Structure 1
């Protein structure tokens, strides 16, 4: 729903405007993603295209907030979608460019944090920036854990209503801001002060510590807003303090603290977000200084790698992990994680009973044409499996053949999956084995059926590669609790529910001649009724009425043409 997001964005704007230590990118990202999601759902986009549109909205919001079209695009792909596929790159770049042009029409196109004159003094100075990457990783993890710690602390204030906690956090922040105003807001003036070397070492370190507390107070109390800008400010202060120390120790071989403040911004942002590419390009666009690109790259990559080892969750994934949400970073994995094994499991008519004799086992293998059959007892408990390869060995021992049965031939099943497991977990099991089918167990450990590798690959082709669906699930109307059966369709065929074209209104199915025109057959009609929908099993004399939904089966191109209201196959 868009309305809760609008309220959240308004609250975020109010919190940032009141001096909360949060970033203005928060409401922009929320609004961009919400509008994109709403548009995608209204236009009936597929789940994959909806995710791409959501990435476009996020990129547009970030790019408009900070005048960083390249950084906004990379942020959406690296942090939000976790993919750099070409089909994603194009739409996101276009959205980011348009948003930046509109933002520049209202504001200046100049870099937000100019840092002219800074560069690499000598090649050996890269060692100092390598050290800054290590310091940035530690600072980034401290930043993430600090926000988490204060969030836990505020949740323990049971006497304070949840709605009042943000107010309490802002009041406490105001107490700090009365003495150190540099910690208030998103830190724009503080960052520029660090870049222009207006703070001494002690002041840089002190403001950095208080900025961390200010951000943790604001975010931990429940105020909505962005975390990227506060991490930049914290990084500028930490980097500036580190630069002061390094320059005092090696004045001839290192630059001034302003250069280290700029690189520190990228290092801490990369470590906190686990998005080094975005941090590098965003800081380059922020400063407009290409001479710092090598230190930026080195410190950001080192910080990101070390921060992941120190703490596996970023500032964006940590709240989700705290709520028990498992986040798949790759879109490919997310597509499979959206389905359960139960959704694709097939009934297995070729199971063996433990007492079946060898001739019966052989007959079952000949009929099933499989390399492995599962042995199940009377309570549907999975006992093991019989391998065709093992039977070949048994044929060499006549004495063993006479007394052989399924129980004597079976071996343990190395791995099984549960019906509640997600498909991406099943894909990992398939990757570790050579089998074409995996046994599926229900919640009580009983044998449910099998998951076929080709079914999983078909889902991958449909959800990830965008190929037409080759699988459909049928559920009998007299079995409402059934999971249904997955049925494989011929290649390039589709089963879809399409609105009846206006040209077919009033015609019988025989008069419509859809099999002759398109090669499409109507297998069911869904008709509006006063109490919902009426399902009709049609015959040649069934009349197509206005408002009908036709469940059709046929070539994918023909079904797509019918969906567009055209009565000729698409080219």
Structure 2
């Protein structure tokens, strides 16, 4: 079917209804795929633990296990070479495609990311399930869009729905899935996308909960709400998390650079280093392997002393950099939450020793630090706050979560630390030459929405006075819930939602130009 201008506009007018049913479909299929991935990783962790118990103390068995690790590294390396888009988290790749800067092939990404992510966690690499889950969900949305022969505008919405469903199913966090998809992936709000994303997220969470239960991911008790007399410690903790978050971003990017320097290292040999490190740590310090969920259990149950928490944090941090820097298919989302929990534990234990903090509040600081560390690294504070209260099942810490998250956000911003996923996307665009092979020559039209912010260059200007991006048509303007036809003398106001149309091949360029016009004052 030809997706010309009239077809695109007419279909967009029915989006509020169309996208609800399609969001339901994407949520159901994406939720099932991510649930299967989550179950597979659970078995990977169980099998890894049994293997390490079996080989420990026997040199011959240890040698055999290292041979298996090298074989897994070789297989994952071949998968990454076959489909480079599965490397790393997957979240930057989804962001890039939704904004029109990258092209992925769902038929290759789905199987390669699933198998590659499974093997990496089976090998013990310090990676998470959330990034791959979001990419698997988004690729499900893309696949359904193409099987149903939808246009590119609709495909972007369905990919956002899939990303939301992926996070919801991975973490039993439907609200966080919805907010992350809108705040980080789509980077915009409209009623059409909001309702469809909510539908997909809730559907995926329902399926996941029906099969594996309603228990939150982090099951530790918070017996007391933190008294306001301790709130000065929240500011200090937020500042520390802001600094540590900026350092984390620098370290992860530096690890990628170090892997790329030696000319003899390729996709496979880089992974062999990471898998070998996992093998060594599996014998010496198995607690740091995998995503690290058991570390939270040990920490919050009071089974770790301060010195052990510090050592575990340092080893886990370095191992996470070694794992992620290798280009292995896996996320940084869950491991960074574990590292944040370690920082919160160190901070609280130090507070008990030196500032008279009551030990019953240690778990409060563990939870608060996870949200603050996530915010400092990803720069998505709303998602961080919602995610942590959904994952912990506790809503009593909202004010404390907000204070720590906002402080960490401010400090990381003052340190000029770029959000990690934006930095990773920039690197992908450079290394893949903007990967326009799948986009060039396409004549499909793409609609995009942008909201004019207070103080932007568009505010109080007439349409005819603006230098609009090349190959971009302003087709609609929404103000106060009413749609206006933009004319040359129409004065733009803060809060207006602009709808633009462009060719698919120009979508990335137009997106960046329109964001600058709508969100900046120069």
**TM bucket, shorter chain:** 0.5 to 0.7
Q: Assess, with a 3 A threshold, how the Cα gap between structure 1 residues 435 and 297 changes in structure 2: closer, same or farther.
A: closer
Aligned to 1:167: 272
Tell me, yes or no, if the aligned pair for 2:178 and 2:198 is still in contact at 8 Å.
yes
- Closer, same or farther in 2 for the Cα pair 1:147/1:134, shift >3 Å? same
Q: Which of 130, 140, 143 is equivalent to 1:35? A: 140
Q: Does 1:89 align with 2:194?
A: yes
Q: Match for residue 252 of structure 2?
A: 147
Q: Distance in 2 between matches of 1:262 and 1:26?
A: 21
Aligned match of 2:207: 102
48 and 127 in structure 1: CA distance in 2 versus 1, 3 angstrom threshold = farther
2: distance between equivalents of 1:138 and 1:256? 23
Residue 437 (structure 1) shift: 5.5
Provide the alpha-carbon RMSD of the alignment. 3.5
Change over 3 Å in CA distance of 1:46–1:310 after alignment to 2: farther
* From 44, 47, 67, the counterpart of 2:172: 67
**TM-score (structure 1 length as normaliser):** 0.58
94, 112, 120: which one aligns with 1:7: 112
Distance across 2 between alignment mates of 1:9 and 1:30: 10
The counterpart of 1:18, out of the listed 123, 135, 146, is: 123
Residues matched between the structures, number:
363
Q: What SS does the corresponding residue of 2:220 show, helix, strand or coil?
A: coil
Aligned residue number for residue 507 of structure 2? none
C-alpha distance 158-48 of structure 1, shift in aligned 2 (>3 A): same
Whether 1:309 aligns to 2:414 is: yes
Identify the match of residue 286 of structure 2 among 173, 181, 184.
181
Cα 1:43–1:312 shift into 2, 3 Å: farther
**Is the Cα–Cα contact under 8 Å of residues 63 and 100 in structure 1 kept in the other structure?**
yes
Q: Is the 8 A contact 2:221 2:363 kept in 1?
A: no
Quick one: structure 1 residues 47 and 309, their matched pair in 2 at CA, closer, same or farther if it must change by over 3 Å?
A: farther
Q: In the alignment, does 2:140 pair up with 1:124?
A: no
In structure 1, runs of 5+ residues without a counterpart are: 327-337, 340-423, 439-450, 472-493, 495-571
Flag the 1:165–1:454 CA change in 2: closer, same or farther, 3 A.
Answer: closer
Structure 1 or 2: more helix by fraction: 2
Question: Which residues in structure 2 correspond to 1:547-562 (within 5 Å)?
Answer: none
Could you say which structure has the larger radius of gyration?
A: 1
Secondary structure of 1:119 counterpart = coil
- CA 1:259–1:433 in 2, change beyond 3 Å: closer, same or farther? closer
CA contact (8 A) 2:296 2:341 kept: yes
1:78 aligns to what? 183
Please give the per-residue CA displacement for 1:384-430, whole angstroms capped at 9, x wherever unaligned: xxxxxxxxxxxxxxxxxxxxxxxxxxxxxxxxxxxxxxxx9xxx876
Structure number with the higher strand fraction is 1
Give the SS at the match of 1:436: helix
CA gap of 1:455–1:433, structure 2 versus 1, over 3 A, is: farther
* Contact 1:63/1:96 (<8 A) preserved: yes
User: Paired residue for 2:514?
Assistant: none
1:274 aligns with 2:379: yes
C-alpha change, 1:118 and 1:306, in structure 2 (3 Å) is farther
d(CA) in 1 for partners of 2:357, 2:461? 59
Q: Assess, with a 3 A threshold, how the Cα gap between structure 1 residues 466 and 457 changes in structure 2: closer, same or farther.
A: farther
Which consecutive unaligned segments of at least 5 residues does structure 2 have? 1-104, 432-438, 441-451, 488-500, 502-522
- Using the TM superposition, give the Cα deviation of residue 177 of structure 1 relative to its aligned residue in structure 2, in angstroms: 3.5
- The structure-2 alpha-carbon separation of the partners of 1:31 and 1:436, relative to structure 1 and needing over 3 Å to count, comes to same
| 1:320 alignment partner in structure 2 | 425
Cα deviation for residue 57 of structure 1 reads 0.3
| 1:247–1:256 Cα contact (<8 Å) kept | no
Q: Distance in 1 between matches of 2:372 and 2:458?
A: 39
Change (3 A) 1:103 1:138: same
Q: Give the whole-Å Cα distance in 1 for the aligned partners of 2:386 and 2:457.
A: 38
Q: 2:295 aligns with which of 176, 179, 190?
A: 190
Deviation of 1:105 after TM superposition, in Å, equals 2.2
Matched, 1:436 2:464: yes
Change in Cα spacing, 1:139 to 1:119, as seen in structure 2 (3 Å) is farther
- Relative distance call for 1:320 and 1:466 in structure 2 (3 A) is farther
Q: Looking at both structures, which has the greater relative contact order when contacts are Cα pairs under 8 Å and sequence separation is at least 6?
A: 2
User: Structure 1: how far apart are the matches of 2:341 and 2:484?
Assistant: 50
Change (3 A) 1:55 1:294: same
Task: Give 1:143 deviation, angstroms.
Answer: 1.6
2:356 counterpart residue number: 251
1:50 corresponds to: 155
TM-score, length-scaled by structure 2:
0.63
**Offset, 1:189:** 0.3
SS of aligned partner of 1:458: strand
Match of residue 367 from structure 2: 262
